[in-house]
Amino acid sequence: MNKAPARIAVLSILIICAAGGLPAQSDNVRQTEKEIKSTKSQLERMDVEIETREEEAKGLEKREGGLVRQIRDIERKIDRSRRTLKSLNGEIAEINAEISYINRQLGRLSDKLGRKKAILHRRIREIYKRGRLHTTQVLLESHSFTDFLKRIKYLTLIADQDKRLVREVGQLQDTYGQYRRANERKLAQRIERKEEIETEQDSLEQSEQRRHVLLESVKSKRVGVLEMIEQRRADRQRMAQLIEEMERRRRELIEQARREGRAPPPETAYLAGKMGSLDWPVARGKVVRGFGPYTDEITRTKVINNGLEINAPEGEQVLTVASGSVVMAEWYLAYGKTVMIDHGASMYSIYAHLGEVYVTKGDFVNGRDVIATVGSTGSLEGPMLYFELRDGARPVDPRSWLGRK
């Protein structure tokens, strides 16, 4: 923006207004020059302010334009934190089980060691009371050579038994010490894991708070909602391309079999004859947005919804509507964690905004299998399940396939 002509024009007007109709006196001239300088200074400050606001506006626009991606990055961090916490809690459960086992072993060893020590102490007292010449006396009191040999054998057995007792006590003490040290290591490990949990929990809470702030910012700003709408279009296109590629491969296999004079690969149509009778993918939930076009309240833009948006409790089990093969389980920018299942005969179901996902690409699932939980990944409206059915790449109204709820 060139603001110099505007400033010159304003200054000219001020000079004319200041000079016209006044006597040409020096004090008035100085006053006019002073006013011109003041006005010029004000204009310069206005220029700086305008430029500053323009930069702020550009920065705001850039920041808003990246809010959706920031939210997705934070959601990934939240997801990682939750998986880390789950792993750490699993480790603590294992450590607790090991500590319980060690404590049971320590109790058993302590009882056994106590009994052996008591026996050893009695033997030591007996040996002390009888004195160092007791063995010689026993041998000298022999009535015959045979009795002498028997007494030597008896004393040898007693000595061997005493040696075994001493060894057993020593081994028990060593084993007890090993378990004690193992217990101390496990206790220290448990403290360390608990500290890691506290750190990760703090990180999770901060990420969730940051996500909440950004979500509110996106939902209240037109540019953020527009970006989300555009990203959903791009994600839908990616899904359609994936299906089209699979359908192309399916046709190629059929054509190859025809050329080779053999039957095409067998394929089960798991949705055949089930229109209007499929179970819902969640037991609890309310449809908040149906299939087809709708007008977004913030942007006043017409948007196409290819499926159903079902408001459901976070953590609610997500079930397959029919058997099929998992052909995709990954993270989409606007739909969050997403799973796609091939039900045969070019029919596909899509589940999005998921929390935990229990399947991976290549898995075969049966109808009503639990594949995930309801989450809020990619959702601007909290916990939600996005459910979609496609006939080839063409989306169809899921309500025409689902039974009454």
User: Please, which pLDDT band fits residue 48 given cuts at 50, 70 and 90?
Assistant: low
Evaluate if residue 126 carries a pLDDT over 50: yes
Query: Mean of the pLDDT values across residues 59-67?
Result: 49
What per-residue confidence (pLDDT) applies to 29? 46
Q: What's the CA gap between 72 and 95, in Å, rounded?
A: 34
Residue with the bigger pLDDT between 92 and 301: it is 92
Q: What CATH number labels 68-219?
A: 1.10.287
What per-residue confidence (pLDDT) applies to 34? 55
What per-residue confidence (pLDDT) applies to 218? 67
Q: Under CATH, to which class is 225-400 assigned? A: mainly beta
What per-residue confidence (pLDDT) applies to 311? 95
Query: Mean of the pLDDT values across residues 382-388?
Result: 95
Evaluate if residue 298 carries a pLDDT over 70: no
What per-residue confidence (pLDDT) applies to 359? 97
Evaluate if residue 60 carries a pLDDT over 50: no
Query: Per residue, what are the HEC states of 313-346?
Result: CCCCEEECCCCEEEEEEEEECCCEEEEEEECCCC
Q: Is the dihedral of CA 178, 183, 188, 190 positive or negative?
A: positive
Evaluate if residue 324 carries a pLDDT over 60: yes
CB 367 within 8 A of CB 279: yes
CB 309 within 8 A of CB 303: no
And the tokens for 159? 């000595």
Residue with the bigger pLDDT between 174 and 142: it is 174
Query: Mean of the pLDDT values across residues 59-65?
Result: 43
Query: Mean of the pLDDT values across residues 175-179?
Result: 89
Q: What's the CA gap between 359 and 372, in Å, rounded?
A: 8
Task: Check if 68-219 and 225-400 are the same fold.
Answer: no
Evaluate if residue 32 carries a pLDDT over 70: no
When mean pLDDT is compared across 102-116, 156-170, 302-316, the lowest value belongs to 156-170
What per-residue confidence (pLDDT) applies to 142? 63
Work out the percent of the chain whose per-residue pLDDT is above 90.
Answer: 38
Work out the percent of the chain whose per-residue pLDDT is above 70.
Answer: 72
User: Please, which pLDDT band fits residue 362 given cuts at 50, 70 and 90?
Assistant: very high
What per-residue confidence (pLDDT) applies to 295? 84
Evaluate if residue 109 carries a pLDDT over 70: yes
Specify the amino acid at residue 274.
Answer: K
pTM above 0.75, yes or no: no
Mean pLDDT of the chain: 79
Q: Say whether 275 sits in a helix, a strand or coil.
A: coil
Evaluate if residue 356 carries a pLDDT over 90: yes
What per-residue confidence (pLDDT) applies to 115? 83
What per-residue confidence (pLDDT) applies to 18? 43
Evaluate if residue 205 carries a pLDDT over 60: yes
User: Please, which pLDDT band fits residue 207 given cuts at 50, 70 and 90?
Assistant: confident
User: Please, which pLDDT band fits residue 110 given cuts at 50, 70 and 90?
Assistant: confident
Query: Mean of the pLDDT values across residues 31-45?
Result: 53
220-260: pLDDT as tens digits: 666 667 777 888 888 888 899 999 999 999 889 888 988 88
User: Please, which pLDDT band fits residue 342 given cuts at 50, 70 and 90?
Assistant: very high
Evaluate if residue 13 carries a pLDDT over 90: no
Q: Say whether 359 sits in a helix, a strand or coil.
A: coil
158-173: pLDDT as tens digits: 767 777 778 888 888 8
User: Please, which pLDDT band fits residue 3 given cuts at 50, 70 and 90?
Assistant: very low
Find where tokens 């040696």 sit. Answer: 163
What per-residue confidence (pLDDT) applies to 147? 62
CA distances from 195 to 89, 199, 315, 326 (A): 11, 6, 26, 38
Q: Where are the domains of the chain?
A: 4-58, 68-219, 225-400
Q: What's the CA gap between 370 and 281, in Å, rounded?
A: 9
